[in-house]
A and B are shown apart, each in its own frame.
Chain A
Amino acid sequence: MASTLADLKSLEEDMLAQIDENGIREITYRQALQEALTEEMTANENVILMGEDIGAYGGSYVVTRGFQEEWGRERVIDTPISELGMTGVATGAAIAGIRPVLEIMTINFSLLAMDQIVNHAAKISYMFGGHFNAPVVIRTAAGWGQLGATHSQTFEAWYAHVPGLRVVMPSTPLDAKGFLKSAIRGDDPVLFIEHSLIYRNRGPVPTEEYTLPLEGSEVRREGTDVTLISWSRGAILAQGAAEELQEEHGISCEVIDMRVLRPLDTDTVVESVKKTNRAVIVEESWRTLGLGAEIAARIQEDAFDYLDAPVGRVGSLEVPMPYARNLERLVIPGKDEVIQAVLQALA
Chain B
Amino acid sequence: MDTGQLLDFYRQMYLIRRFEERAAEQYAYGKIGGFLHLYIGEEAVAVGAIAAMSEKDHLFTHYRDHGYALAIGADPNAAMAELFGKETGTTSGRGGSMHMIHPERNFWGGYAIVGGHIPLAVGAGLAIKHKKEDAVSVAIFGDGATNNGAFHEAANMASLWKLPVVFLCENNRYGMGTAVEYASAVPQMLTKAQGHGIEGEIVDGQDVLAMYAVMQRAVEHCKSGKGPYFIEAMTYRFRGHSMADPESYRDREEVERFRQNDPIPLFKQQLLDAEKASAEDFERIEAEVEEVVEEAVRFADESDFPPPSTIYDWVYFSDGEVGKEPERG
* Given the contacts A94-B123, A128-B109, A131-B101, A85 and B154 also touching, CB distance less than 8 Å: yes
Interface residue total, chain B, C-beta cutoff 8 A:
53
B137 contacts chain A at the CB level, 8 A cutoff? yes
CB distance from B312 to the nearest CB of A (A): 9
Are A132's CB and B328's CB within 8 A?
A: yes
Are A98's CB and B127's CB within 8 A?
A: yes
- Of B127, B156, B315, the contact of A80 (CB 8 Å cutoff): B156
Q: How far is the CA of A100 from the CA of B226 in the complex (A)?
A: 24
B313 contacts chain A at the CB level, 8 A cutoff? yes
Are A89's CB and B126's CB within 8 A?
A: yes
* Given the contacts A85-B157, A132-B328, A91 and B119 also touching, CB distance less than 8 Å: yes
The stretch among A21-29, A112-120, A244-252, A280-288 that forms the contact with chain B is: A112-120
Chain A: CB-nearest residue to B101: A128
Chain A: CB-nearest residue to B108: A95
Q: How far is the CA of A130 from the CA of B153 in the complex (A)?
A: 29
Are A88's CB and B123's CB within 8 A?
A: yes
Q: How far is the CA of A324 from the CA of B93 in the complex (A)?
A: 54
- Of B118, B137, B316, the contact of A88 (CB 8 Å cutoff): B118
* Given the contacts A96-B127, A96-B128, A127 and B95 also touching, CB distance less than 8 Å: yes
Are A131's CB and B124's CB within 8 A?
A: no
Chain A residues near B316 (CB, 8 Å)?
125, 164, 166, 187-188
Interface residue total, chain A, C-beta cutoff 8 A:
43
Q: How far is the CA of A93 from the CA of B154 in the complex (A)?
A: 13
Are A116's CB and B119's CB within 8 A?
A: yes
Chain B residues near A77 (CB, 8 Å)?
161
* Given the contacts A84-B150, A125-B316, A186-B318, A132 and B122 also touching, CB distance less than 8 Å: no
Chain B residues near A186 (CB, 8 Å)?
318
Q: Which of A79, A116, A120, A164 has most B Cβ within 10 Å? A: A120
CB distance from A284 to the nearest CB of B (A): 27
Are A97's CB and B328's CB within 8 A?
A: yes
Against A, the Cβ 8 Å flags (1 = close, 0 = not) of B143-164 are 0000001101110110011000
B216 contacts chain A at the CB level, 8 A cutoff? no
A277 contacts chain B at the CB level, 8 A cutoff? no
Are A91's CB and B123's CB within 8 A?
A: yes
Are B101's CB and A187's CB within 8 A?
A: no
Chain A residues near B240 (CB, 8 Å)?
none
Are B131's CB and A97's CB within 8 A?
A: yes
A133 contacts chain B at the CB level, 8 A cutoff? yes
Against A, the Cβ 8 Å flags (1 = close, 0 = not) of B95-130 are 100010101001011010100111111111111101
Are B314's CB and A88's CB within 8 A?
A: no
Q: Which of A106-148 contact B (CB under 8 A)?
A: 115-116, 119-120, 125-133, 135
B58 contacts chain A at the CB level, 8 A cutoff? yes
Chain B: CB-nearest residue to A163: B315
A92 contacts chain B at the CB level, 8 A cutoff? yes
A74 contacts chain B at the CB level, 8 A cutoff? yes
Q: Which of B274-329 contact A (CB under 8 A)?
A: 313-318, 322, 324, 326-328
Chain A residues near B126 (CB, 8 Å)?
89, 92-93, 98
Are A129's CB and B91's CB within 8 A?
A: yes
Chain B residues in the interface with A (C-beta under 8 A) = 58, 60, 89-95, 99, 101, 103, 106, 108-109, 111, 113, 116-128, 130-131, 137, 149-150, 152-154, 156-157, 160-161, 313-318, 322, 324, 326-328
* Interface pairs (29), CB distance under 8 Å: A80-B156, A80-B157, A84-B149, A85-B153, A85-B157, A86-B119, A88-B118, A88-B154, A89-B119, A89-B123, A89-B154, A91-B123, A92-B127, A95-B123, A96-B58, A96-B108, A96-B127, A97-B131, A120-B113, A125-B317, A127-B95, A128-B103, A129-B90, A129-B94, A131-B326, A133-B317, A163-B315, A187-B317, A188-B316
